[in-house]
Amino acid sequence: MDKIVIIGNGISGVTAARHIRKNSDQPILIISAETEHFFSRTALMYIYMGHMRFKDTKPYEDWFWEKNNIDLLFDFVQNIDVENKMLQMKSGAPVLYDKLILATGSKPNMFGWPGQELNGVQGLYSYQDLEKLEENTKITKEAVVVGGGLIGVELAEMLISRGINVTFLVREAQFWGNVLPEQEANLISDHLREHHVDLRLNEELDEIIDDGNGQVKQVKTKSGEYIDCQIVGLTVGVSPNIDFIRDSGVEVDRGVLVNEYLETNVQDIYAVGDCVQFKQAPAGRKAIEQVWYTGRIMGETVAQTILGKRTAYHPGPWFNSAKFFDIEYQTYGWVRPQFAANESDFFWKHPNGKMCIHVVWDNSTDEFIGINTFGIRLRHELFDQWLKNKASIQLVMSELKTANFDPEFYHHYEEDIVAKFNAHTGMSVAIKPKKWWQKLMTN
Amino acid sequence: MAEINLSISGRKAQSLNLVQKLGAIIGLVAIGIILITWGGLTFKNNVLWLSLLLSCIFIGAIVYTIGTYKGKTAGIKNDGVFHRSHTSRGVVGWAAGIVFTAFYIFLYWYPEYLGYASGVEGTNQGLVALFDPLSMFFKGKPASQWFVYGTLYTAIIISLGIKFIVKYRNNRYQVTRTIVVIVSQLFLAYLIPEILAGMNYNDAVDASGQYLGWYDTDIKNVWPLDYDFFYNWHMDAMQAPAYQPLGMTYLVWGIFLFAIGTPIITYYVGKRWYCSWVCGCGGLAETAGDSYRQLSSKKLSAWKFERWIINLVLVFVSIMTLATLYGYFMNTNSLFGLDIYAYFQKPYGFIIGAAFSGVIGVGFYPILGNRVWCRFGCPMAGYMGLIQRFKSRFRITTNGGQCISCGNCSTYCEQGIDVRAYAQKGQNIVRSSCVGCGVCSSVCPRGVLKLENGPEEGRFGNEGPIVLGNDGFKLDQ
Ligand SMILES: Cc1cc2nc3c(=O)[nH]c(=O)nc-3n(C[C@H](O)[C@H](O)[C@H](O)COP(=O)(O)OP(=O)(O)OC[C@H]3O[C@@H](n4cnc5c(N)ncnc54)[C@H](O)[C@@H]3O)c2cc1C
Ligand code: SF4
Ligand code: SF4
């Protein structure tokens, strides 16, 4: 039986292993140099903030692996010998494989700033980064976080939970400006300020300054300002973690290059998750998508191919979610920061400034394109189906009550939303009463 | 005290701010009054000290709440839970556990050490005497240890319930259910029964000084949680002529609620209507115990143990009650030659009624989490759990593929349900033990969980191994 070796015990590698094991007895080995067991990277912030212990972030109890006959190896792969199908390890003996899945994830970007090697300067990706942060914030009073994306906000929230003042440098004119339309970006900016984040838009890091002992003492910004700090969080995005793969013969660019079957150029070597770059991006999607969900879907998919049912990667309609301090965010379909000529949009915001929705549709066909929702939960299943079926904006708006996923007893705003929508667009959508949501599912 | 890190987990503990310290000190005054009277001191002016005690409980909790949440935005407030000693099984947690446990041991088995009837001619002393004025006010007789317990219990549910409401004020499910639980405790469990006793509808003596008996007048205390409902003395008291028509009403209501009301309501909304909306044990767990919910074990082994033990208790209470009813209707004290009191009622009362529900159930809050009794022991929970699992419209719906496996839901599930294990597979949570507290849904940072009642069809959610979001293939299995 073929021995399957997976490098990386994150969501993508582990999902692949589980799905292979479900249908086959072949030997599976997962290698990681980060933690012995799979944990949820998305929960790193909650460990630091004291909401959970590390062990609470492990989705499976430690006995799970042995019970399911999945071998684990805690070591670092230094090199892949594709000729001999062998992995050179940092400490242990070489590992042989018949099939290899690369699931090596990402690493934080570092853009070569002067001073980025100083003590107190760090990214946030791995468990080791978290340990470093714990160490770095022992006596910290002030922090600078660079980069206005999701991990930056999480880092800001973490630091603030320990009473550290945070200055947040964001290069764009808006928070998360390459993803969010202006209205949403403003709503989040206001919320960050409410949490005492010193948010600096249109501001970039220029240099990190040494205190003379190899420790950060200040940053200098592009506008020439000096900001005192004892820690600098660099959260300017991540890139595929593929350094050890570069010379192996497996073709890489920014990530490991794969076709739609997640196959690399080398026979029997596959790649999944954050480290992947598609030679040809799936329709409507990016070539590199570093989110939890795509990692999981790739893991499910590659398992089928390994099991002998060669299966192409076909993610369903795009969805994502995040949380900015107190405000939850969900998105279904595409709401881009700038709208195309064929796109119309409608934005609704609650007077409390903590809830909004933004819908986008095609103005010639009325086809629903996407929705952003902040502070209101919506049903994934319904939006998934509406996006696949090319539902009209009128249908979506009329069924908003059923699509709501907020807990019971919450205030509802659908009437107001639809009334304003009608006023804004001149349409006359009649809002339908709430139904049991599965009644709207047609397949 | 607060600055010293006593946490076993060894992280930096956040120190209390000034207002929190003030609240804590006021709370400590209350605890101090309890401890010194428990220790045997009898005050001269019980009215004064009792007023001080109750005021300190309320004011202390309110001041502490203000200190904790003032100036903070509405949202999830779990920062530092695992850094603080008393909420992460640190030294303070263990100390609290020991004090709570000791209190229950005295309450059940050594009330005289709390001062109950320990003075000359059976007068109260110490802690129990402290509550005499209030008891006199309600029903014209001195307090019992149970009156002390009921009063403190109610005061704690109200005061810490207010803290809970402020803490979860972003979530209207939490706010609504906590108001209901406070009102249930205050009126149904405390005021109405005490007032009825005061009106001689219960716990009374007749003109000749003959004691007429006592029965439970908390309309929501239903068999099998109220395991002595069918005991001879309870049945007799409900039928005592002096208590009519109220006594019989309670008898009929008790049977109706157990046999018809409970299954019907549980079918429609799940066991939460009871466990986290009206029940007194649940009320205490949700308010006083909220700080300890993360300590419940999520291990599979704990779940296996739970399924055995809770169903065994249900079997135990059923057998005990059948024996009791047999004795009652056959007018005998024994069944198959076994004394019904000695072999059925007494062991149940001791092991389950007192040791499990009180000593372990509440005493161990800071060690095992706040729902030990509700999860492992409560026969009412066991009974409703069977309905909830097999014939109910209630489920916790998982929102498609949105789960990021972070683990907040499982960590904060007081019932030790590994919610994430379901959510990350896109499955709904259909579990007999879920008390519907809704905290998993509150703490989920991705809006993945929703408690809802709907058609039984499709109740379990995603059936396949593939989670929503993958259009590549369907597995034909
Ligand atoms: C703080 C944070 C919050 C996030 N929050 C969200 C979120 O809310 N939603 C979302 O969708 N996404 C989120 N993400 C992104 C998401 O976590 C990633 O997309 C996902 O974890 C990637 O999974 P993966 O399996 O591809 O790789 P990883 O989880 O990175 O796993 C790769 C593993 O491989 C190991 N490895 C790599 N090379 C070697 C080698 N040579 N030898 C041995 N081991 C090796 C690594 O050490 C690592 O353990 C977040 C990321 C971070 C850092
Ligand atoms: S809290 Fe929400 S996102 Fe986190 S594991 Fe539970 S369901 Fe998933
Ligand atoms: S599953 Fe959720 S609602 Fe049920 S008991 Fe656990 S936390 Fe409460």
Ligand 1 centroid distance, CA of A291 (Å): 9
Q: Where residue B477 falls among pLDDT bands split at 50, 70, 90?
A: very low
Convert the pLDDT of each residue in A339-370 to its tens digit. Answer: 999 999 999 999 999 999 999 999 999 999 99
**Proportion of chain B in helix, strand, coil states, percent, rounded to 5:** 60, 5, 35
Residue A411, amino acid: H
What DSSP element (H or E) covers A368? strand A368-374
Q: What is the pTM of this model?
A: 0.96
Q: Where residue A426 falls among pLDDT bands split at 50, 70, 90?
A: very high
Q: How many CB atoms lie within 10 A of CB B281?
A: 22
Do A255 and A275 meet the contact criterion of CB atoms below 8 Å apart?
yes
Given a cut of 90, whether residue B474 has pLDDT beyond it is: no
Q: Where residue A443 falls among pLDDT bands split at 50, 70, 90?
A: low
Q: Does domain A121-236 have CATH number 3.10.129.10?
A: no
Sign of CA dihedral B446, B452, B454, B458: positive
* φ/ψ (deg, to 5) at A360: -130, 140
* Mean confidence (pLDDT) of chain B: 92
Do A272 and A313 meet the contact criterion of CB atoms below 8 Å apart?
no
- Measure the CA–CA gap between B18 and A86, rounded to whole angstroms: 62
Going from N- to C-terminal start, the domains of chain A cover 4-107+239-306, 121-236, 319-442
Would you say residue B192 lies in a domain? no
Given a cut of 50, whether residue A304 has pLDDT beyond it is: yes
What DSSP element (H or E) covers A271? strand A269-271
Question: Chain A, 380-409: which have a CB under 8 Å from a chain B CB?
Answer: 380-381, 384, 388, 405-409
Q: Where residue B447 falls among pLDDT bands split at 50, 70, 90?
A: very high
**Domain region containing B298:** 293-379
- Measure the CA–CA gap between A47 and A37, rounded to whole angstroms: 16
Among B445, B358, B388, B343, CA closest to B75:
B445
Would you say residue B42 lies in a domain? no
Mean pLDDT within A202-211? 96
Which residues from chain B sit within 8 angstroms of residue A162, using beta carbons?
12, 14
* Predicted local confidence at residue B420, as pLDDT: 98
Among A356, A381, A349, A384, CA closest to A370:
A384
Q: Which of the listed CATH numbers 3.40.50.2300, 1.10.260.40, 1.10.260.30, 3.50.50.60 matches domain A4-107+239-306?
A: 3.50.50.60
Number of domains in chain B: 2
Do B349 and B231 meet the contact criterion of CB atoms below 8 Å apart?
no
Name the token pair of A112. 């070569």
Give, in order, the Cα–Cα distances in Å from B56 to each of A398, B97, B162.
53, 21, 14
Among A24, A64, A12, CA closest to A4:
A24
Convert the pLDDT of each residue in B378-436 to its tens digit. Answer: 999 999 999 999 999 999 999 999 999 999 999 999 999 999 999 999 999 999 999 99
Convert the pLDDT of each residue in A25-73 to its tens digit. Answer: 999 999 999 999 999 999 999 999 999 999 999 999 999 999 999 999 9
Name the token pair of B386. 């069977």
Mean pLDDT within A8-19? 98
Question: Across B72-128, where does the E strand assignment appear?
Answer: none
Given a cut of 70, whether residue B3 has pLDDT beyond it is: no
Given a cut of 80, whether residue A215 has pLDDT beyond it is: yes
* Predicted local confidence at residue B85, as pLDDT: 92
Would you say residue B299 lies in a domain? yes
Do A399 and A382 meet the contact criterion of CB atoms below 8 Å apart?
yes
Among B122, B108, B102, B18, CA closest to B68:
B18
Q: Please report how many Cα atoms fall inside a 13 Å half-sphere around the Cα of residue B202, on the Cβ side.
A: 23
Convert the pLDDT of each residue in B119-174 to its tens digit. Answer: 888 899 999 999 999 999 998 999 999 999 999 999 999 999 999 999 999 999 99
The residues, any chain, with a CB within 8 Å of residue B128's CB and separated by 6 or more, are: B111, B114, B115, B116, B117, B142, B143, B144, B145, B147, B148
Q: Give nearest CA residue, ligand 2 atom 3.
A: B403
* Predicted local confidence at residue A401, as pLDDT: 98
Mean pLDDT within B344-366? 88
Q: How many CB atoms lie within 10 A of CB B266?
A: 24
Q: Give nearest CA residue, ligand 1 atom 3.
A: A42
The residues, any chain, with a CB within 8 Å of residue A18's CB and separated by 6 or more, are: A68, A70, A299, A303
- Measure the CA–CA gap between B263 and B14, rounded to whole angstroms: 46
Mean pLDDT within B438-457? 97
**For a pocket test of ligand 3, which of B434, B444, B453 has the largest count of ligand atoms closer than 8 A to its C-beta?**
B434
Residue B355 and residue B426 in one domain: no
ipTM > 0.90, yes or no: yes
Is A364 buried (19+), middle (13-18) or exposed (0-12) by CB count in 10 A?
Answer: exposed
* Predicted local confidence at residue B4, as pLDDT: 39
Is A46 buried (19+), middle (13-18) or exposed (0-12) by CB count in 10 A?
Answer: buried
Q: Where residue B475 falls among pLDDT bands split at 50, 70, 90?
A: low
Do B321 and B329 meet the contact criterion of CB atoms below 8 Å apart?
no
- Measure the CA–CA gap between B367 and B337, rounded to whole angstroms: 42
CATH architecture of structural domain A319-442: 2-Layer Sandwich (3.30)
Ligand 3 contact via B434 beta carbon (within 6 Å) = yes
Ligand 3 contact via B374 beta carbon (within 6 Å) = no
**How is B223-251 classified by DSSP, letter by letter?**
TTTSTTTTSHHHHHHHH-GGGTTHHHHHH
Q: Give the whole-number percent of chain A exceeding pLDDT 70.
A: 100
* Predicted local confidence at residue B452, as pLDDT: 97
* Predicted local confidence at residue B476, as pLDDT: 52
Ligand 2 centroid distance, CA of B444 (Å): 5
Q: Among B410, B450, B466, whose Cβ lies nearest the Cβ of A300?
A: B466
User: Which stretch of A48-57, B78-87, B330-339, B410-419 has the lowest confidence by average pLDDT?
Assistant: B330-339
Mean pLDDT within A271-299? 96
Would you say residue B301 lies in a domain? yes
Residue B353 and residue B416 in one domain: no
Q: Give the whole-number percent of chain B exceeding pLDDT 90.
A: 82
β pairing state of A276-278 and A256-258? parallel
Convert the pLDDT of each residue in A146-171 to its tens digit. Answer: 998 899 999 999 999 999 999 999 99
Among B52, B51, B63, B58, CA closest to B23:
B63
The one-character DSSP state at B198 is H
Residue A34, amino acid: E
Relative to the CA of B413, which ligand 3 atom is closest? 7
Given a cut of 50, whether residue B9 has pLDDT beyond it is: no
Which residues from chain A sit within 8 angstroms of residue B84, using beta carbons?
50
Among A11, A52, A378, most B C-beta atoms within 10 A, so best to mutate, is A52
* CB spacing of B399 vs A379 below 8 angstroms: yes
Among A10, A125, A21, CA closest to A58:
A10
Would you say residue B238 lies in a domain? no
* CB spacing of B469 vs A296 below 8 angstroms: yes
A308: left (phi over 0), alpha (psi -120 to 50) or beta: left
A59 touches chain B (CB under 8 A): yes
Relative to the CA of B409, which ligand 3 atom is closest? 7
Q: Where residue B464 falls among pLDDT bands split at 50, 70, 90?
A: confident
The residues, any chain, with a CB within 8 Å of residue A343's CB and separated by 6 or more, are: A336, A360, A361, A362, A363, A369
Same fold, A4-107+239-306 and A121-236: yes
Q: Select the more confidently predicted residue: A383 or B102.
A: A383
* Predicted local confidence at residue B14, as pLDDT: 63
* Predicted local confidence at residue B10, as pLDDT: 40
Mean pLDDT within A294-307? 97
- Measure the CA–CA gap between A382 and A388, rounded to whole angstroms: 10
Among B176, B5, B189, B163, CA closest to B86:
B5
Residue A71, amino acid: D
Q: Please report how many Cα atoms fall inside a 13 Å half-sphere around the Cα of residue B471, on the Cβ side.
A: 13
- Measure the CA–CA gap between A42 and B29, rounded to whole angstroms: 43
CA angle A239, A240, A242 (to 5 degrees): 135
A70-74, strands of its sheet edge to edge: A70-74, A28-32, A4-7, A99-102, A269-271
